[in-house]
Structure 1
Amino acid sequence: MTGVFSLLPEGRPGLLVPAPGAAPGGSEDLARYLSVGGYAPLPAPDRLLDRIAEAGLRGRGGAGFPAAVKLRAVRDAPGGAVVVANGEEGEPGSVKDRWLLRHRPHVVLDGLRLAAAMTGAGRGCVYLSDTPAERAVRQALAERPPELPVDVVRTEHAYVAGEETAVVRRIDGGPALPTAKPPRPFESGVGGAPTLVANVETLARIALLHARPDAAGAVAGSHLVTLSGGGGRSGTGGAATLVEVPAGTHLKVLADLCRHGRSEAVLLGGLFGGLHGAGWTDLQLDHDRLRAAGGALGCGALHFLHPEDCPVSVATEATAYLAAQSARQCGVCVSGTGALARTLTAVAHGEADDDAADKLRRWSGQLPGRGACGLLDAAARIAATLLAHFPDRVDAHRRAACPACAGATPEDGRRFAVPVP
């Protein structure tokens, strides 16, 4: 099953629940958004900020950082603030941000308005690379001119282009490449001003939480998840299913929804959360629980591996893609991702040295945290989880080439890329 679905209990507010009369697959216009409580007045910004903290809303860009903490940091920094709706989806297996911008641009702009009120910002930006999304956002801005100046900033799509310092650098006229930290954007961002860089789903949940304060906890505890898999050697990640679910939903429920129930493994969090084999059906969609299991929720993209999909091949293609997507600004990232990709390619082709697994294990422990962004961490986690969950498969590849891994070196990420439903 592919498409867009909500698994929220009846009556629970969500981002995939269309307004009455909304055309399926179309962009929600201003009248329909107003009919569900959109753009409601905000008499007390601090009260909304407290409500966000009480609800426990976490950012949806990948790290899962508490949204209220970021908002307060920007609010309390000296100088006029800037707020940015970050809609650049670097993860090839994620579609949620582009879907929101294409089909519900007003809920994102409403969240940007509220973030500006809570931080005292005098300028806003919508940052994206998707043409249909840009068209929908500009139409929404024309329908309802914003209360503060809002620029739409276009970037070229790349894995690192959505990293928060890359966002700031691009808005300031430079390349969309990460910079060293500190300072972080909340200290010195766009034009040197304290800047909130917030994922578009995070902003949409802020808007929904404001419209439905009676359901704040439920709004904060729901997730947009992209499900894909079964592409195998066909060259693509297959079709995608975008689903909204409560936190704690078992991954087996999600796999069954999109006919991936026979899968033997799952790649978590886009390319950031690593591979998980035996026992993956018992995992629950929850930041803390997945972290305790050695994975990560990341942007909420799940790629299921069917019996014909070799985990060594998947890990090889993922690290090759990440190595190709490196900004090439950090020597440790260039050398680290390159070494991981080359060694995994050798494993996949049955050409690895006897110490390949030991090298992969050592590198995956030494490399995290040493790059300017999370790309190196993602590559290291893929290698580490491959070794942790599939040691026998890795060992078998040392002795002979695997038919499923033949040619498993593409760097364009096409195995993981999925279209927006």
Structure 2
Amino acid sequence: MSGAITVSNIGGSRLTLGFDRFDRLDLERHKAVHGRLSTPVMEDLVKMAEQVDMRGRGGAGFPFARKLMAVAAQVTHPSADQMNMLPGESRDRRRPAQDAVVVVNGAEGEPGSSKDKVLLNRAPHLVLDGAAIAATALGTQRIVVAVEDDEAARSVRAAIVERRMPARVVRLTERFISGQAGAVVRAINGEIPIPPGRKVRAAESGVDGCPTLLSNTETFAQLAVLTSLGPDLYASVGTEDEPGTTLLTIGGTRVVEAPLGTPLQAVLEHCEVPPSQAVLVGGYHGMWLDARGVSRALLSRKGMKAVGGTVGAGIILPLTQGTCPLGEATRIASYLAAQSAGQCGPCRLGLPDVVRAMNTLNDGSGSVDDVRRAAGIGRGRGACTHPDGTAKFVLSAMDAFAEDIEIHRYGGTCGQPVFGVLPLPVPTGSEGRVAIDWSRCDGHGLCAYLVPELIQLDRYGFPVVLGTDIPAWMERDVQRAVAMCPALALRVTTGVPKSGSTRRS
């Protein structure tokens, strides 16, 4: 995939140093470009990370020094659970805690992101340097790199062999939620790769129940750069509050390294992005910015917050002029609903209701209030952050595309097609959707009882099918509904279906 991605920089390169000369930096080239690995002790590493207020680059922006110290504290002062102490057991019978584990989260389940794949493919040793620095500080040799991309997996394995380091690569299933920390830990542990459904701190109990330092690919690459340059030189670019550079994915096909604090408009101009209807910042759990917001936005946590946006995982998606904004937003909401783990009410029922409300808004029969109501139900109550992130995306679209929504309400359409300019995974033909043979359907309604998440009845008692792929967790229920349909009218189709709900004409 990295071969199709254009990589450039604004104001000089750090993470992408050497990319202008080499397609991939093997160990020899890496040492020539970045120098030999330096491994400071824990105290010095924490001080450096705190001095530049280094944050995770996976989207949450959690302070790296705090995460590192949390894992170190568990190794030095293990909890009762980690020492396998049973109630009433004497202190001298407790077993010591296991070594810490360092996990590089290379999962980029979001279709609009490519920066971590680029790093793993082209600068794998920089990432492994960061992981080795953290592991040495924690006194462990256990390093795991979790990846989804085939090419990235091959690149990292080759780098591990070159370094002769005791690290392993774990392949993940490419799904939107696969990059969530709990899902990554579960995948490494050989469990179903979905969020665990309850708050579990990896620092306390992660891989194999051990204290685990889990951060995304760019975070470890930044750690290596920080250690190599030192805090003062590292902070010579960026802003006073947020020093350094960051990697951005523009439109899914351009990766740009830029100093934090760079105007968003400057990045778009650098990538020769034409004027757009709006720009989505932070990816599919992010926020929409209108033209005025784009012109004022600075690429930093503080700068984006000032205009109602977010940096997130550094994903920037301009919405091309000429495509229907509401239709594009509905298309992504449908994708997000199908990507859920289906382990809580907000995902199982809430997200499908959001899609239904957006579908009716598209054809002019719904209202923004219906969408807001559907998006608001269950917020803060999900088993993971997926329903809240999806609601944030949808509610932001309601504000950003207010004029287009009004046109839909009065005319049933804005007159613009949905070109599908926002990136989604390429269909493989194996994705299934529920379909109805209307020549057979007699309106028994059993299907709506068996799979209410995907099918509801209209005012006449006939089924209305939600136009989304069948989530993995619903496949068995759908097969049961197909088998039990009295009229044999329910079926599953594969291929590339049209978006939207399926209604009886």
> TM-score normalised to the size of structure 1?
0.88
Q: SS of the counterpart of 2:154?
A: helix
Residue 264 of structure 1 aligns with an amino acid whose one-letter code is Q
Residue 416 of structure 1 aligns with an amino acid whose one-letter code is P
- How big is each residue's C-alpha offset from its partner over 1:155-210, in whole Å with a ceiling of 9 and x where there is no partner? 11000111000001010001110013332111111111111111010000000111
1:338 matched to 2:349? The reply is: no
1:207 matched to 2:224? The reply is: yes
2:214 counterpart (181, 191, 197): 197
1:27 matched to 2:34? The reply is: no
Q: Is the 8 A contact 2:38 2:228 kept in 1?
A: no
Q: Is the 8 A contact 1:85 1:126 kept in 2?
A: yes
CA distance in 2, matches of 1:215, 1:404: 53
Q: Is the 8 A contact 2:101 2:211 kept in 1?
A: yes
CA distance in 1, matches of 2:119, 2:215: 14
Report what 1:358 is aligned to.
Answer: 369
The verdict on how the C-alpha distance between 1:38 and 1:156 changes in structure 2, with shifts beyond 3 A counting, is farther
276-285 or 60-69: bigger deviation: 276-285
CA distance in 2, matches of 1:197, 1:181: 17
Query: Structure 2: any 5+ residue segments left out of the alignment?
Result: 79-96, 427-505
Q: Is the 8 A contact 2:146 2:172 kept in 1?
A: yes
- How much has 1:418 moved relative to structure 2? 8.4
1:276 counterpart (272, 284, 289): 289
- How big is each residue's C-alpha offset from its partner over 1:78-97, in whole Å with a ceiling of 9 and x where there is no partner? 23211100001011100000
- How big is each residue's C-alpha offset from its partner over 1:375-394, in whole Å with a ceiling of 9 and x where there is no partner? 21221112211222222221
CA distance in 2, matches of 1:309, 1:249: 28
Q: Is the 8 A contact 2:346 2:379 kept in 1?
A: no
Report what 1:55 is aligned to.
Answer: 52
CA distance in 2, matches of 1:163, 1:55: 25
RMSD of aligned residue pairs (Cα, Å): 2.3
Q: SS of the counterpart of 1:264?
A: strand
Residue 334 of structure 2 aligns with an amino acid whose one-letter code is A
Q: SS of the counterpart of 2:175?
A: coil
CA distance in 2, matches of 1:371, 1:293: 27
- How much has 1:141 moved relative to structure 2? 0.7
Residue 298 of structure 2 aligns with an amino acid whose one-letter code is Q
The verdict on how the C-alpha distance between 1:38 and 1:342 changes in structure 2, with shifts beyond 3 A counting, is farther
Matching of residues 16-415 of structure 1 within 5 Å = 16-18=16-18, 22-23=21-22, 26-77=23-74, 78=78, 79=97, 80-146=99-165, 149-213=166-230, 214-217=232-235, 218=237, 220-228=243-251, 240-279=253-292, 280-350=294-364, 352-353=365-366, 356-402=367-413, 406=417, 415=422
CA distance in 2, matches of 1:43, 1:318: 44
CA distance in 2, matches of 1:294, 1:183: 30
1:3 matched to 2:16? The reply is: no
Q: Number of aligned pairs?
A: 394
- How big is each residue's C-alpha offset from its partner over 1:5-59, in whole Å with a ceiling of 9 and x where there is no partner? 11024xxx51112179x42xx2211111112344423243320221011111111
Q: SS of the counterpart of 1:161?
A: helix
- How big is each residue's C-alpha offset from its partner over 1:354-394, in whole Å with a ceiling of 9 and x where there is no partner? xx211222343444332232221221112211222222221
162-171 or 44-53: bigger deviation: 44-53
Larger Rg over CA atoms: 2
CA distance in 2, matches of 1:381, 1:17: 35
Q: Percent identity?
A: 37
Report what 1:231 is aligned to.
Answer: none
Residue 249 of structure 2 aligns with an amino acid whose one-letter code is T
CA distance in 1, matches of 2:416, 2:348: 24
Point out which structure has higher relative CO (alpha carbons under 8 A, 6+ apart): 1
- How much has 1:288 moved relative to structure 2? 2.5
Q: Is the 8 A contact 1:38 1:207 kept in 2?
A: no
Q: Is the 8 A contact 2:290 2:400 kept in 1?
A: yes
1:15 matched to 2:21? The reply is: no
Q: Is the 8 A contact 1:19 1:32 kept in 2?
A: no
> TM-score normalised to the size of structure 2?
0.74
1:416 matched to 2:423? The reply is: yes
Q: Is the 8 A contact 2:328 2:418 kept in 1?
A: no
Query: Structure 1: any 5+ residue segments left out of the alignment?
Result: 229-236
Residue 297 of structure 2 aligns with an amino acid whose one-letter code is L
CA distance in 2, matches of 1:196, 1:128: 16
Report what 1:232 is aligned to.
Answer: none
Q: Is the 8 A contact 2:38 2:227 kept in 1?
A: no
- How much has 1:109 moved relative to structure 2? 0.6
The verdict on how the C-alpha distance between 1:254 and 1:402 changes in structure 2, with shifts beyond 3 A counting, is farther
Q: SS of the counterpart of 2:256?
A: strand
Q: Is the 8 A contact 2:317 2:422 kept in 1?
A: no
